């Protein structure tokens, strides 16, 4: 099963990314104890963004995929709280939860952040 997004989310997502030059994307999958914490931390450290952070972003979309084990309200709160803690200027956060049975008992998180007050200069980010 692929990622299914509601029409409303797609419209919100299009509005968020359409006027932004810089986009941060991070993604990860985690399972077991503290799976939400592990997944959100790994997504923020994803090599896709070469060391950039969500610190100054104004808009953040968090796509959460769950497998056979349902996500708890505590896990959703933990993900949201961590995102707010890592960003400095109270961003507009959109959360979407979808099901992907292939994940079994894992949770997948993709973070897309835009609206940075200053441009991300990739040449200043050290290679990892």
pLDDT tens digits, one per residue of 85-127: 988 778 888 888 999 999 999 999 999 888 876 554 444 444 4
Range in 13-17, 55-59, 77-81, 104-108 with the lowest mean pLDDT: 13-17
Which residue has better confidence, 74 or 18? Answer: 74
From the centroid of its chain, how far is CA 19?
19
Q: Can you list the domains of the chain with their CATH numbers? A: 22-118 (3.30.1330.20)
Q: How far apart are CA 110 and CA 117, in angstroms?
A: 22
Q: What pLDDT band is residue 53 in, cutting at 50, 70 and 90?
A: confident
Q: Is the pTM of this model over 0.85?
A: no
What's the pLDDT at 109? 94
CB count within 10 Å of CB 78 equals: 17
Mean confidence (pLDDT) of the chain: 79
What's the pLDDT at 108? 95
């Amino acid at each position: 099963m692929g990622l299914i997004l509601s029409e409303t989310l797609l419209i919100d997502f299009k509005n968020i990314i359409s006027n932004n030059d810089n986009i941060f994307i991070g993604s990860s999958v985690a399972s077991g104890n503290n799976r939400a914490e592990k997944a959100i931390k790994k997504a923020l450290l994803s090599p896709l963004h070469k060391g950039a952070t969500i610190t100054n972003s104004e808009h953040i979309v968090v796509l959460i995929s769950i497998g056979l084990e349902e996500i708890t309200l505590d896990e959703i709160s933990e993900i949201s709280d961590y995102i707010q803690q890592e960003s400095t200027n109270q961003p507009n956060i959109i959360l979407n939860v979808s099901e992907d049975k292939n994940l079994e008992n894992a949770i997948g998180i993709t973070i897309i952040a835009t609206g940075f007050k200053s441009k991300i200069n990739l040449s200043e980010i050290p290679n990892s």
